[in-house]
Structure 1
Amino acid sequence: MKAIVSNERKGYNNYGTFLKDKYNGQKVYKIIVDAGFSCPNRDGSKGFGGCTYCNTDSFTPELSRKLPSLTQQVLQGIERAQKSYKAERFIVYFQPNTNTYGSVAYLKKCYDEALAAAPDLIVGLSVGTRPDCLDPETIALLESYCDRLNVDVEMGMESMYDATLQQINRGCSHQEFLQAVEWFADSPIDLCIHTVFGFPGETVEMMLQYIHEMNQFPQIKFVKFHHLHIVEGSILGVHYKRNPFPLFTLEEYTDLLCQLIPLLRPDIVIQRLFGISDWDLLIAPHWGLKKTLIQNFMDKEISRRAIVQGALYSLV
């Protein structure tokens, strides 16, 4: 495989260019919808409190009950994106909580309602979930939309180390992640893997192993990289205030990206280099820049160092 450089002259396969190429230059925008799903690590099925880095305030039943219908959420999201970004086509993105955590019949009802809101404008369905909330029947349901839509499943690996997963109260093991990945081996669904870098106790060398792990699976088409940040309302936020621990500076995290991007399989598309939090919720790290400026800083450093995705890629 040759290392691929996007036509926007970045040293990595970025999602914006991927969408432009796939949809013939049309502006495609993700519309986030909240179906009010819960999480087995929050409702007592597997545990309570959720992952330690989650903001529990955003998962209250009261909030879910106040949400507009899925139809309204899609139509309002489309209207905003058309006005603000001149978007032309849309991907319905079930993002908050675990969006395969329910019966297949209920999941179908939710997906169908959202997709029916604007069928002439919607080109894709994206569903965020956990490895332990997937099974062949649910995947078959998602595959049933692939004849008319591009479908991707965003699944959180977070860390590949069980000691870390236990520490953050993840509620599932890395083996469960690997089993879920295997179910997508011959699927038309695009699989997107979400990772978090910077958990306490993990070294840079350990984090680079995430990349070697993902490189092994051709069914992984997208990745989302996220640095650990501490937010109000999270269990980790309480611990951090009592006993602060090291977090990435912007420069340190950018250096990590410059180490891992050359290792990443060259055909994988990077949807995100970093995560953001609302400023009023963010405890740390404070990088002092807005999203666009952070992106620009990282892209300039990647360019300055002549980083190319896949340049050091190997299955060995």
Structure 2
Amino acid sequence: MESTVAAVWEKGYNNYGPWLKEKYKGHRVFKVIVDGGFTCPNRDGSKGYGGCTYCNVDSFTPSVSRNAPTVREQVIQGMERARTGNKADKFIIYFQPNTNTYAPAHYLKMMYDEALSYGTEDIVGLSIGTRPDCIDPEKIALLESYTDRFDVDLEMGMESIYNDTLAQINRGCSHDDLVKALKMVENSKLDICVHTIFGFPWETHEMMLRYADEINRFPQIKFVKFHHLHIVEGSVMGVKYKRQPFKVFSIDEYADFLCELLPRVRPDIVIQRLFGLSDRELLIAPNWGLKKSEIQYYIDQKILSRGVVQGTRFTGL
């Protein structure tokens, strides 16, 4: 057991990849992205139009997923690609694009059931990406109904902890909405993940470091995804950036920031991701000129060279 725990922590943080391998007894687990054709309440007019100002939803979804006609076919094709290209043998079905609880519960059940209908024991998990204002007890109960067969994680976009930022990016919900959603899953069987974005130009360094304190205070948060802000084609922010460029992270600055952030993060929280990356043809800035694996290596090496360890500055709740 000690060797597997050491593998999870060998990079200085509670690393999702080795954590999955340890949890699933050495199997190679891969997330299969599914596009359920959902929209968002700040896209369809329910709360607004245009979506979040940083978002072109295509930039977060591989084109191979966007082109598959049915949910079940996306699952089958995604699993085959992962088996061939990534040597995966276990799979988590991941509803990622847009808001994947933004529909009546009976419709959601139909979609989730279809995704899981491939009938293979190789599917071990279901992951649902959504917004905190599109969560309610009925939808939580629906997701919990799958937990006797699968590990189910609910991923909610925190993005920023500041309501002023959420208003500026046309988020259509407040940080209070996230707090309410987290309260609803306080004693849930679901694994809770929150997603954050660092680098909004009006947020200071100290403001961003405080994200860790806010995340730490919710024991129900099991996973986090950290992203740096990137500017993409087809987004409102992309148009503004082209007119008047603003400061974005260099890779060195972002790695330095993570070296400050990680010691503040509660040590039991599993880090699913340290950065995000859109398709190169959509990316405007920051263009670090590196592949995903090269960015990961660069950040990991900086963390290791500085002796950074997640949680060493966490003082408890």
Q: Same fold (TM over 0.5)?
A: yes
1:130 corresponds in structure 2 to 131
Q: Does residue 250 in structure 1 map to residue 220 in structure 2? A: no
Alignment of 1:289-304 (within 5 A): 289-304=290-305
1:87 corresponds in structure 2 to 88
Deviation at residue 68 of structure 1 after TM alignment: 1.4
Alignment of 1:212-251 (within 5 A): 212-251=213-252
- Say whether the 8 Å CA contact 2:59–2:232 is kept in structure 1: no
1:49 corresponds in structure 2 to 50
| SS of aligned partner of 1:300 | helix
When the two structures are superposed, what TM-score results if normalisation uses the length of structure 2? Answer: 0.95
What is the identity percentage for the equivalent residue pairs of Structure 1 and Structure 2? Answer: 63
- Say whether the 8 Å CA contact 1:157–1:174 is kept in structure 2: yes
- Say whether the 8 Å CA contact 1:192–1:224 is kept in structure 2: yes
| SS of aligned partner of 2:93 | strand
Distance 1:189 1:6 in 2: 25
- Say whether the 8 Å CA contact 2:194–2:225 is kept in structure 1: yes
Distance 2:29 2:66 in 1: 29
Deviation at residue 5 of structure 1 after TM alignment: 5.9
Deviation at residue 298 of structure 1 after TM alignment: 0.4
2:17 corresponds in structure 1 to 16
Deviation at residue 276 of structure 1 after TM alignment: 0.1
| SS of aligned partner of 1:233 | coil
| SS of aligned partner of 2:77 | helix
RMSD across aligned C-alpha pairs, in angstroms?
A: 1.7
Deviation at residue 118 of structure 1 after TM alignment: 3.4
Distance 2:231 2:112 in 1: 32
CA deviation digits over 1:169-227, x for unaligned, max 9? 00000101110011111001000000000012101100111100010111000000000
Paired residues in the alignment total 310
Residue ranges of structure 1 left out of the alignment (5+ in a row): none
1:204 corresponds in structure 2 to 205
- Say whether the 8 Å CA contact 1:212–1:315 is kept in structure 2: no
Deviation at residue 286 of structure 1 after TM alignment: 1.1
- 1:12 maps to a residue whose letter is Y
- Say whether the 8 Å CA contact 2:53–2:170 is kept in structure 1: yes
| SS of aligned partner of 1:257 | helix
Distance 1:70 1:227 in 2: 30
Residue ranges of structure 2 left out of the alignment (5+ in a row): none
When the two structures are superposed, what TM-score results if normalisation uses the length of structure 1? Answer: 0.95
Q: 1:118 to 1:42 in 2, by over 3 A?
A: same
Q: 1:76 to 1:66 in 2, by over 3 A?
A: closer
Runs of 4+ in 1 over 3 A off after TM superposition: 4-8, 56-59, 63-67
- Say whether the 8 Å CA contact 2:34–2:65 is kept in structure 1: no
2:113 corresponds in structure 1 to 112
1:271 corresponds in structure 2 to 272
Distance 1:116 1:79 in 2: 15
Q: Does residue 261 in structure 1 map to residue 250 in structure 2? A: no
